[in-house]
Amino acid sequence: MASEESPLLTTRDGATHKTTIYERFTPGQKRWIVTVVSLAGFLPMFVQATLVPSIPQIAKDLNSAHAVVSLSVSLSIFAAAVGTVVWAAYSSFYGRRLMYLCGMPFLCIGSCGVAMSTSLWSLLFWRFVQTFGCSGSMSLGAGVISDIYKLEERGTGMGIFFGATLFGLAIAPLIGGAAAQYWSWRNLHYSLAAWGLLEMLLIYISFPETSHPGTIGIEKVPPRRRFHFQWVNPLSSFWLLRSPNLFATTLASSFVLISDYVLLVPLAYTIGVRYGITNEAVIGACFLPNGLGNFLGSPIAGRISDTVVRKWRAKRKGVWYPEDRLRATWVGGLFMVPMSIGASGLLTTYVGGPIGLSLNLMCLFINGMGVDFVLEPIISYNVDVMHSRSAEISAAHEAIQSLIISAATTLVIPSIERIGVARTNIIAAGLALVGQGIILLTIRYGDRMRASVDVGFSTIDDN
């Protein structure tokens, strides 16, 4: 017991119910479900990242400044924050499957709107609609993983899901840059509309409802009234963050994730300019190491976090202390993230030629892995402690994180222009260390933090 004021979460009778719940789907069905939600989760990352390397061409087509067009990146992050809480809140009433089906038409229409934009304002409007439509895929996917995997398997399942979705971050800039250089950024967004349509068809045909029986509101509505609209307050998810530990992990993950955006958003103006890269496709290829680090790091982080949970639970003789999962963040948060982004800033400033470029690409890879080593345990931890509202806490976490990053990304290019790449990156490294410090406090005082504001935390029985 970590403290006398707030006991750890211990096992009670409930194993039979838990076993039945998690055996509704066979291992093969679970793998297919993860595949489908991973393809859907691939979309928001892909939609956001494909635009970045094509910003110079879009600015030229729309007769606008590069810095102004880059606002569409911040706007899409804001749209993701709005969309994720809407889709997650309604999934608690209507279920996961229907929310996937409702979001995809927004993606298709928004993508066509972006492709047909003739002004900056129309681009920003349709960019918002496009991102809003696919933004629920991350929080809904986290909810689906929590529906089908039990506690000791959840980190691994979450790692596979996020690893697959972050593959979009690995290849999107390359595809976006190649489209801008050799095809058309407009045609790329028409392709995204077609992709959304195919994804909607796949979900309609083969994706089952995964919510636990009796937990969604529509099941309590008489059959003759099933086709009616139910108002659900999407802002209710944010109320969960009044819990100190949930707010702390959200703030910590935001500080760490900022490093990704500080490296990637201005990449064409930092690494591109410093090393004389003007071809959009080549600039897009420079994003690959970071995305590859994300892709490889997430499954590894998931397995490590599950191992940590099992190890510490055995050490405590079967007693579950949720914050143990956060111990898996140390390597990424203390070393990989701050060192990689700080080194990248110094390399870009002081080391030229192929050596400087190669070392920078290595820093991007290490940063991608390090960020996942922090984010994946945090996301799994949030789902562990709020299992009954897994999609909602994932949405609230993602939304606040997106708002913080949206504000931060608007400052990246002006900061680089004013104080330089090295100082900007060192500030981001400092923020990452602050985030890890917050995680340390959460591990140390997690039981007291949970006891101070109880938002309906899950126990070992309902995990």
Q: Are 201 and 78 in contact (CB under 8 A)?
A: no
Q: Are 332 and 373 in contact (CB under 8 A)?
A: yes
CA separation for the pair 29, 11 (Å, rounded):
29
Within 13 Å, how many C-alpha atoms sit on residue 286's CB side?
A: 30
Residue 330 is assigned to a structural domain of this protein: yes
Residue 299: which of 229, 202, 401, 369 has the closest Cα? 369
The CATH number of whichever domain residue 344 belongs to comes to 1.20.1250.20
Give me the pLDDT at residue 18, please.
54
Residue type, 452: S
Residue 457 is assigned to a structural domain of this protein: no
pLDDT tens series, the chain, 463 aa:
333 333 454 444 444 445 578 888 888 899 899 989 988 888 887 887 777 777 777 777 777 766 666 677 778 878 888 888 899 888 888 888 999 999 999 999 999 998 888 888 888 899 999 999 998 888 899 889 988 988 888 888 888 888 877 777 667 777 777 777 778 888 888 999 998 999 999 999 999 988 887 777 676 666 665 566 677 787 888 899 999 999 999 999 999 999 988 998 888 889 988 999 887 778 778 888 988 898 889 889 999 999 999 999 999 988 899 999 999 999 999 999 999 999 999 999 999 899 999 999 999 999 999 999 999 999 999 999 998 788 889 889 988 887 888 788 888 988 998 999 999 999 999 999 999 999 999 999 999 999 999 898 888 877 7
The 10s digit of each residue's pLDDT in 282-307 is: 877 888 898 889 888 988 999 999 99
Burial class (CB in 10 A: 0-12, 13-18, 19+), 52: buried
Residue 15 is assigned to a structural domain of this protein: no
The 10s digit of each residue's pLDDT in 193-228 is: 998 999 999 999 999 988 887 777 676 666 665 566
Residue 463 is assigned to a structural domain of this protein: no
Give me the pLDDT at residue 243, please.
94
Give the N- to C-terminal CA distance of the chain in Å, as an integer.
Answer: 20
DSSP string, 295-350: HHHHHHHHHHHHHHHHHHHHHTTT-B-GGGGGGGGHHIIIIIHHHHHHHHHHHHHH
CA separation for the pair 363, 342 (Å, rounded):
9
Beta-carbon neighbour count of residue 455 at 10 Å? 16
Range of the domain at 132: 22-220+238-452
Give me the pLDDT at residue 15, please.
47
Give me the pLDDT at residue 224, please.
61
Residue 251 is assigned to a structural domain of this protein: yes
Instruction: Report the number of distinct structural domains present in the chain.
Output: 1
DSSP letter at 9? B
Residue 320 phi/psi, 5-degree rounding, is: -95, 125
CA separation for the pair 371, 89 (Å, rounded):
27
Q: Are 366 and 293 in contact (CB under 8 A)?
A: yes
Length of the chain: 463
Q: Tokens representing 460?
A: 């070992």
Residue 227 is assigned to a structural domain of this protein: no
Residue 373 is assigned to a structural domain of this protein: yes
Beta-carbon neighbour count of residue 102 at 10 Å? 17
The whole model's pTM is what? 0.81
